[in-house]
Amino acid sequence: MRSGRTAPEAALTELGWDQAEDLPAFFANIPLDGVITSSYLRAQLTAEPLARAFGLPVRVDDRLVERVLSSEPLPHWRECLRQTYEDENLRFPGGETSEEAASRGMACLKEQALSGLKHMAVVTHGNLLSLLLKRISGQFGYEAWSKLTNPDVYHVSYFEDKWMYRGRIWRGDAEAPPAKRLIRAAQPGRDQ
């Protein structure tokens, strides 16, 4: 799931708070038994109302933090980002490659899928989410990243050592700008 709208200092805006508070109703018919989030404040603030509604702790994992494109300013950062979807080993100064970011994120997802939990909400960030969905579906790229909303929710499953992309399940505001994403990952063999 992508978080609600954020302020420049990375806290949630008033709209972002409202969006986070709306998530429990969206997940009301899904028996969540785990909530895991990036260590970034905006992701934790998005996850908290959901965890509270289900009586769950918010577990934090640094492997879900946003991908660092570069440690230096990139005047044409969107074009640079587009290139990293085409060349997963492209590295800008001080940044992670798409391969590195996707690998750390996938390691977290696989660990969660094998943890014994049946349905979990995983809160991460736009670029990392798109890289994970690209790895799982083989199709997600720059254009799909540019259309992510805040929040945004995708459903993936893991069964017999294979990931399955089930698609976007969020039916919210398609015009909202990017923020955080949540992936609902399911335990192997238990997601019907």
The pLDDT of residue 6:
60
119 backbone dihedrals φ, ψ, rounded to 5°: -135, 125
Give me 143's structure tokens. Answer: 């254009």
Q: Are 84 and 99 in contact (CB under 8 A)?
A: no
The pLDDT of residue 104:
98
Give me 58's structure tokens. Answer: 């918010």
Q: What is the average per-residue pLDDT within 166-182?
A: 61
- Mean pLDDT rounded to a whole number for the chain: 87
**Whose CA is closest to 120, among 187, 29, 169?**
187
How do residues 38-47 score in pLDDT, each as one tens digit? 999 999 999 9
Percent of the chain surpassing pLDDT 90: 72
Higher pLDDT, 121 or 7: 121
The model's confidence at residue 14, banded by pLDDT at 50, 70 and 90, is confident
Quote the CA–CA distance of 131 and 99 in Å, as a whole number.
8
**For residue 188, is the peptide bond before it cis, meaning its omega torsion is within 30 degrees of 0?**
no
In whole angstroms, how far apart are CA 136 and each of 47, 132, 161, 174, 192? 23, 6, 12, 23, 18
Where do the H-state alpha helices sit in 27-73? 41-54
